[in-house]
């Protein structure tokens, strides 16, 4: 039960903050991707800086998760072609819909019914990936 509450609580904080930052507004995302608005980049850079420093501290202390006791050191993976190819497809989808997975959920919560089409597409894409992986391995 505790892990669920912790995950949902972190999700709620995240959802509240991205909605406040207007990341659910497709026109805002478009302005940022057309480099007319630096907000996204400033937010991402400062978020990563804070989290990077904090995670480094936790890693150095060999911290364990408060719930469950798993090591806090998050994975560091070497670059593979799939990371670039997948990100390429993702980037096109992001630009077409001016939405990405967390803001899509925020749109739904705010009653933007267009998000239902994007969600249907996301689930189709995941299904295609899972189906492909099952056949491939």
Number of shown-chain residues binding another protein (CB under 8 A): 107
Nearest CA among 1, 136, 131, 3 for reference residue 69: 3
Comparison of 35 and 137: residue with beta carbon closer to another protein: 35
What is the spatial distance between Cα 91 and Cα 88, in angstroms, rounded to a whole number?
5
Does position 42 bind another protein by CB under 8 A? yes
Complex with another protein: residue 79 or 135, whichever CB lies closer: 79
Asked whether position 136 contacts another protein by CB under 8 A, the answer is no
Non-local CB neighbours of 82 within 8 Å, separated by 6+ positions: none
How many Cβ atoms from other residues are within 10 Å of residue 114's Cβ?
13
Complex with another protein: residue 127 or 135, whichever CB lies closer: 127
Tell the smallest beta-carbon distance from residue 14 to another protein (Å): 5
Q: Write 84-92 long-range contacts (CB < 8 A, 24+).
A: none
* Residue 72, helix vs strand vs coil: coil
Nearest-approach distance from CB 106 to another protein, in angstroms: 4
Binders of another protein among residues 6 to 35 (CB under 8 A) are 6-22, 24-27, 29-30, 33-35
Contact positions with another protein (CB under 8 A) in 48-77: 48-52, 54-56, 58, 63-68, 70-72, 74-77
Closest CA to 101 of 6, 30, 11: 11
Of the candidate residues 60, 62, 80, 136, the single one contacting another protein (CB under 8 A): 80
């Amino acid at each position: 039960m505790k892990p669920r509450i912790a995950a949902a609580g972190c999700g709620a904080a995240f959802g509240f903050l991205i909605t406040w930052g207007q990341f659910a507004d497709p026109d805002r995302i478009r302005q940022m991707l057309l480099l007319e608005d630096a907000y996204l980049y400033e937010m991402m850079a400062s978020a990563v800086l804070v989290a990077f420093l904090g995670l480094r501290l936790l890693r150095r202390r060999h911290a364990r998760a408060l719930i469950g006791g798993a090591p806090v050191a998050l994975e560091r993976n070497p670059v593979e072609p799939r990371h670039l190819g997948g990100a390429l497809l993702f980037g096109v989808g992001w630009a077409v819909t001016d939405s990405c997975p967390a803001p899509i959920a925020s749109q739904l919560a705010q009653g933007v019914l267009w998000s239902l089409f994007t969600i249907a597409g996301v689930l189709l894409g995941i299904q295609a990936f899972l189906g492909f992986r099952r056949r491939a391995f």
